Structures are given as C-alpha cells and as structure tokens.
Amino acid sequence: MAVEGTGILLEDGTETGDVKNNYIVGDGSGSGESDSQRFTPSQGAEFGHGNFGIWSRTCYSSIEDNVAEGVFGESPYAFFLHINFMEDRIVPNVTGTPTELVGKTRGEVRYDVNNNVLSLNTYGSFKGNSCLGTYKRAFGANYFLMNPPYPQGHLLEDFDIVSLGRSGAGFSFGHSSRFTITGSLDAIADENTIVGVAVSNGNLTVHDCDYSYNNIEVLRSGCMECFTEQDNCNVFG
C-alpha cells in the first residue's frame, strides 16, 4: 500500500460488488490519521488515508474471506458510513445490483425500501475475514447510525484477529449502535495493553458471548457509560 493509505477503498458509498478472497499487506504508510481529522474540513473529499487494508463507505457490499497482514497505521478493516456530502448519491445500475437499490439514495433505501430497518447484512456482509499484524484497531466502525434489526444488530461473523503489538484494540466503535460478533482475538505479546472493544461515543451494544478473547486483560475501554445492554458473559481477572 502506497502513501494514499488504503489497499481496497470503497469510496463512493453506493458500491454493491463483492470484496472477497483478497490478500492485503500493510506496510505502515499513509497518514496515520483518523478519517474525522480531514473529512469535514475537506467537505468529504479526503478519507481512507490513515493506512487501512479495506476501507468502506458502503453498506451494500459482501466483504468476505479476506486476509490482511502487516503493519497498518489505522486498521486492517474499517467502515466510515457518514452520510454527509453524499445524501443525494444514488446507487448506479450495474450488473448484479439488486433492482430495489438502483437509482435510490441511502435514505430512500432505508426508509422507503426497508421500512426504516437497514443493516450491514441487509444487502452485504462481513464474514470470514482475518488479520495478523500491528494496528491501532483491527476493526473500526464509525457512523453505523442505520436502524439494524433488534436485538442482534449488525453481524460481524467469524472474524479472527492476531495482534502482534503491545497496544491497540480488537474493535473500535464511534457513533454506532448494535453489533453481534463471532470469531477470536489472540494477543501474542506478553504484558500487552490490548483491549477487546473500545468505544468513543454514542450508545453501543455489543453481543460477543460467542467471541473468544485470548491473552488480554481489558475487555471494554473508552466511554464506559456508552456501553448499553451488555451480555456480561466474558469474565476477566
């Protein structure tokens, strides 16, 4: 990955194609900055520059069975679903696109087509992906403010993380609501400070009873009052 910062970039927010079976190597390039540092000042023109494996602004694509390895300044996998500067952007009529999406904005897809219920899994998926290396967070999600099905929310399935660094997080959420995750996180370094799930703001529910955390001591961090309806099934200490 070069200085632009991302291996695979789904930048338009209307993409519907599959992203499957890719092998992505992170070399630590890119800006190392979060998307929020440039997104609003640039009127939505600059994003995905921080160093990511796969960065997505769409919720319509199936992202499955990808492998990301190496050094990532930000995240091997990240979603930034901020609707600003793309409210009127419509899904194009390309081969394989569900007919009910064609010509629709995200707001129309959510409210008119799906009766105000829309998730990462309505048309797409995040399943069978893995990463190995060092990064600030293995999976980053921002602005998942769609209304997903209750109680499971958005599904992150069979996501396996191997963290070689001494710090960082498995999952990091901001302005996002409800997720169910399965898979495993293995922290390799002894005496690391890696956390399972970090949240910066919003009201977040994470169902992770079927997720395995290995060799970490801190399950939740960040805005602790932002965690809601937790299952309390992972006991540390």
**pLDDT for 178 beyond 50:** yes
Facing residues of 91 across strands?
102
- In a domain, residue 232? The reply is no
Could you list the beta-strand ranges (E) of 46-177. 52-56, 62-64, 67-71, 75-80, 125-127, 130-134, 137-142, 154-163, 169-174
- In a domain, residue 66? The reply is yes
- In a domain, residue 235? The reply is no
pLDDT band of 218, cuts 50, 70, 90: very high
Give the domain extent around 190.
Answer: 6-226
Give the pLDDT confidence score for residue 29 in this predicted structure: 79
Give the pLDDT confidence score for residue 45 in this predicted structure: 52
pLDDT band of 154, cuts 50, 70, 90: very high
pLDDT band of 5, cuts 50, 70, 90: confident
Describe the strand order of the beta sheet including 137-142 as a list of residue ranges: 6-10, 52-56, 75-80, 137-142, 169-174, 195-199, 218-222
- In a domain, residue 237? The reply is no
Average of per-residue pLDDT values in the chain: 89
Give the pLDDT confidence score for residue 49 in this predicted structure: 59
What is the average per-residue pLDDT within 147-162? 96
Give the pLDDT confidence score for residue 56 in this predicted structure: 94
- In a domain, residue 33? The reply is yes
Give the pLDDT confidence score for residue 35 in this predicted structure: 54
Of 35-39, 69-73, 144-148, 199-203, which range is least confident?
35-39
Amino acid at 103: G
Give the pLDDT confidence score for residue 110 in this predicted structure: 95
The count of domains in the chain is 1
What is the average per-residue pLDDT within 119-141? 97
Give the pLDDT confidence score for residue 149 in this predicted structure: 94
- In a domain, residue 116? The reply is yes
Within its chain, how far is the Cα of 101 from the centroid? 22
**pLDDT for 168 beyond 90:** yes
Within its chain, how far is the Cα of 3 from the centroid? 21
Facing residues of 55 across strands?
9, 78
- In a domain, residue 206? The reply is yes
pLDDT tens per residue, range 75-108: 999 998 988 778 899 999 999 999 999 999 999 9
Give the pLDDT confidence score for residue 82 in this predicted structure: 83
- In a domain, residue 1? The reply is no
What is the average per-residue pLDDT within 3-11? 79
Are 73 and 51 a contacting pair, CB within 8 Å?
yes
Give the integer Cα–Cα distance in Å for 52 and 160.
Answer: 17
pLDDT tens per residue, range 24-47: 999 887 765 555 555 556 554 555
pLDDT band of 132, cuts 50, 70, 90: very high
Are 120 and 149 a contacting pair, CB within 8 Å?
no
